[in-house]
Amino acid sequence: MVQVDFAGIVQAIIIIVVVLALTRPVGGYVVAVYFKERSRFDTLFGPFERALFRILGVNPTENMSVKRYILNLLLLNGLMAVVVLVILLNQASLPLNPNGAPNMAIDQAFNTATSFITNTNWQSYAGETQLSYLSQMVCITFLMFTSAATGLAAGAAFIRGFASRDKRPGFRQISGMGNFYFDFVRSLTRVLIPLALIVSLILVAQGVPQTLNGPLTYKTAEGASDTLYRGPVASLESIKHLGTNGGGYYAQNSAFPYENPTPVTNVVEIVAMLVLPISLIYAFGVLVGNTREAWVLIGALIVIFVVMLSIGLAAETSNQALSNLAVNQSAGNMQGKEVRFGVSGSMIFTVTTTSTGTGSVNSMLDSYTALGGLVPLSLLMLNSPFAGEGSGLLSILIYVILAVFIAGLMVGRAPQYLGRKIESKEVKLTLLAFLVHPILILGGTAAGVVFAAGAMGNPGFHGFTEMLYAYATAAANNGSAFAGLHADTPFLNYTLGITMLLGRYVTFPLMLLVSNSFMQKKITPYDVGTFRTDKWLFGLILIGVIVILGALTFFPVLVLGPLGEALL
């Protein structure tokens, strides 16, 4: 029996309304950061940024070709990955190791480095005991900022290829992909750090600890002694969600009361995950000269979000298996969920974390019903439609280009997007980017169940789902874990690491090349015979393409996993 979950509906509505209300101001701010000639924040951030550019020895106004942009992005990321790898391998003998964390094994170090450099935040280690303070700071927190900044930079560069070429007052002249270091530094100084500060303050006000003092020992009512681990939790929690990172301070991630103490922080964290990806889509709309282009994309994504959420809520509130027991099931399937969030607070968080690239969790997905677990898995298979900051725009545009190409022909014109013809070059690059995801998931899972069958925590369908989920979350650079999988084996560490690397560093360059190719094209003005992508009908077509292409690719594998389990 399906119960109507009013609390869930109200919460979902509040979140959507808040996110939509924030889209314009935050999106407008993002536009100013990357694309305006000057802003009123220049006096605040300018001197610091200029000093930074001088130290780095780069000229932020120098325009890069797409190849140079990609190369610099890869180089900087590669450099950071190597530094992180070296630290993890030698952390025992490096300073700031009061907890005596041993050197990490090479496979786990590789996995950890790739996980945080790619903004995935998949964790095959336990942070409290296996990481030194130096590793926590440099390898985890630092990369949470830089990986998000890399994503935002790629998003900004990507937008430039599609931007309207009319000279608009106040806007920088766009004549190429822009400058990677300019985008990267500004992402940090003007977007991530200030926003993280704001979110941190809200979280602190709600009771999330933010202290540099050590653990607190206290006496329980029984007279026993216990320890409360605390630390700078709020600051990590904010960038974890804003940067769609997902790696938690505590092993229990956002289920732990100090990370996510109240329903209010739950909503704040959900909003923090959604706000930057959506704002970047809005910025895209501003730059292409028609915000309705962006609203149609945002609308389509919200429809997918709401439908997935509804399926999830329905699955978790009406558990067939439990309804026959003599237990009050009015609260729904509460196994693995926090009482303060309930089914709805948990499901909204889960749907958000998997439709963005975050991957933090406030409940244990392994304990969801089969259909409830299918929801986050499907979202990962659709490559986390909202995805991360910049990468969200890149992956939604893969679907947009394919949808325009197929449906656009039906109006009797050669397909064009934003006045630019989609020709074989763009089709080829987009398809390659599209193919990466299923190759990684299907190929990876197949290898996983054959060579690492012992890693699954459960037999049959459920165990299969654990493995499938691991590769899906790695390929989508999401990082949420289904749990149940013993992820720290050399095989999984290496293959999941490679999956994360390819999932990000193949897609990014391909989509930047697509954008660059669109930049070179002639723009045809719209007329009544033009296939419109700023109308609701296109939103529906886009949803159809996303769902059908996703369903067609992953239907068989879902039958072997959650679908097979749900049909039992």
Partner 1 sequence: MVDQKWYSRTLLTDALRASIRKFDPRLLIANPVMFVVEVGFVYTFILAVSAAISGSGKATFIGQISAILLITVFFATFSEAIAEGRGKAQAESLKKTKKEITARKVVGDEIVEVDGHSLVKGDVVRVTAGDMIPNDGEVIKGRGAVDESAITGESAPVIRESGGDFSSVTGGTTLLSDELTIRITANPGESFLDKMIALVEGASRQKTPNEIALTMVLAGLTWIFLLVIVTLNALASYEGVFVDATTLIALLVCLIPTTIGGLLSAIGIAGMDRVTQFNVIAKSGKAVEASGDINTLILDKTGTITIGNRLAEEFIPFGDKTGADVTKAAFLSSVRDETPEGRSIVRLASKLVPDLAEPEVRDVIDFSADTKMSGVDLADGSEIRKGAFDVMSAYMNYVPKGFKEIVDEISRKGATPLVVSVDREPIGVIHLKDTVKPGMRDRLHELKSMGIKTVMVTGDNRLTAATIATEAGVDDYVPESKPEDKIDIVSREQTDGKLVAMTGDGTNDAPALAQADVGLAMNSGTQAAKEAANMVDLDSDPSKLIPVVSIGKQLLMTRGAITTFSIVNDVAKYFAIIPAVFAVAIPQVNRLNIMALSSPSSAILSAVIFNALIIPALIPLAMRGVKYKPSDASTILLRNIAIYGVGGLIVPFIGIKAIDIIITSLHLV
Residue among 138, 242, 301, 442 that touches partner 1 (CB under 8 A): 442
Q: Binding of partner 1 at residue 79 (CB under 8 A)? A: no
- If the CB atoms of residues 234 and 398 are measured against partner 1, the closer one turns out to be 398
Residues in contact with 79: Cβ distance below 8 Å, sequence separation at least 6, in sequence order:
none
Binding characters for partner 1, 446-465, by CB under 8 A (x = yes): xx-xx--x------xx-xx-
Distinct helix (H) and strand (E) counts, the chain: 23, 4
Binding to partner 1 by residue 555, rule CB under 8 A? yes
Q: Using the rule CB under 8 A, which residue among 134, 435, 498, 506 binds partner 1?
A: 435
Query: Using CB under 8 A, which of 407, 455, 485, 514 touches partner 1?
Result: 407
Residue of the chain from 127, 261, 289, 443 that contacts partner 1 (CB under 8 A):
443
Contact window for partner 1 (CB under 8 A) among 136-144, 146-154, 206-214, 537-545: 537-545
Q: Which of 406, 483, 498, 506 binds partner 1 (CB under 8 A)?
A: 406
Using alpha carbons only, give the angle 153, 523, 298 rounded to the nearest 5 degrees.
Answer: 50
Q: Is 223 exposed, middle or buried (0-12, 13-18, 19+ CB in 10 A)?
A: exposed
Provide the b/e sequence for 452-475 (b: ≥16 CB within 10 Å). Answer: beebbeeeebbbbbbbbbbbbbbb
The distance of closest approach from Cβ of residue 453 to partner 1 in the complex, given in angstroms and rounded to an integer, is 6
Nearest to 480 by CA among 338, 374, 355, 360: 360
Which position among 68, 172, 340, 532 is part of the footprint of partner 1 (CB under 8 A)?
532
Q: Stretches 100-108, 153-161, 216-224, 536-544: which one binds partner 1 (CB under 8 A)? A: 536-544
DSSP labels, 298-366: HHHHHHHHHHHHHHHHHHHH--HHHHTSSS--TT---TTB-TTTHHHHHHHHHHHHHHBS----SB-GG
Output the smallest distance, CB 185 to partner 1, in A: 35
Among 312, 419, 497, 539, binds partner 1 (CB under 8 A): 419
292 binds partner 1 (CB under 8 A): no
CB-based contact 236:249 (threshold 8 Å):
yes
Q: How far, CA to CA in Å, does 194 sit from each of 200, 239, 508?
A: 10, 10, 26
Quote the least distance from Cβ 466 to partner 1, whole Å.
11
Is 321 a binding residue for partner 1 by CB under 8 A? The answer is: no
Q: Which residues, 485 to 524, sit near partner 1 by CB under 8 A? A: 522-524
Q: What is the DSSP letter of 479?
A: -
Element (H, E) at 551: helix 536-560
- Does 339 engage in binding with partner 1 (CB under 8 A)? no
**Does residue 557 bind partner 1 (CB under 8 A)?**
yes
Specify the residue, 242 or 436, whose C-beta has the smaller distance to partner 1.
Answer: 436
In the complex, the smallest distance separating the C-beta of residue 165 from partner 1, rounded to whole angstroms, is 10
Smallest gap from Cβ 12 to partner 1, in A, equals: 28
> From the list 413, 457, 486, 520, which residue makes contact with partner 1 (rule: CB under 8 A)?
413
Q: How far is the CB of 298 from partner 1 (least distance, A)?
A: 21
φ, ψ (nearest 5 deg) of residue 156: -65, -45
Contact by Cβ (8 Å): 84, 144: no
| Cβ contact 274:306 at 8 Å | no
Rule CB under 8 A: is residue 290 a binding residue for partner 1?
A: no
- Inter-CA distances, 294 with 192, 287, 289, 409, 536, Å: 22, 10, 10, 22, 11
Among 198, 410, 457, 486, binds partner 1 (CB under 8 A): 410
Q: Is 9 in the site for partner 1 (CB under 8 A)?
A: no
Distance CA 73, CA 95 (A): 30
- Which of 30, 418, 541, 542 binds partner 1 (CB under 8 A)? It is 541
**Could you tell me the smallest distance in angstroms from the CB atom of residue 536 to partner 1?**
10
Q: End-to-end distance of the chain based on CA atoms, in angstroms?
A: 17
Based on the shown chain and the rule CB under 8 A, indicate whether residue 428 belongs to the binding site for partner 1. yes
User: Does residue 405 bind partner 1 (CB under 8 A)?
Assistant: yes
Residue 477 sits at the vertex; the CA angle it makes with 65 and 563, to the nearest 5 degrees, is 135
Are the C-beta atoms of 236 and 272 separated by less than 8 Å?
Answer: no
Tell me how far apart the alpha carbons of residues 543 and 265 are, in angstroms, rounded to a whole number.
31
The residue ranges that bind partner 1 (CB under 8 A) are 402, 405-415, 419, 422-424, 427-428, 431, 434-435, 438-439, 442-443, 445-447, 449-450, 453, 460-461, 463-464, 467, 522-525, 527-532, 535, 537, 541, 544, 548, 551-553, 555-557, 559-560, 564, 567-568
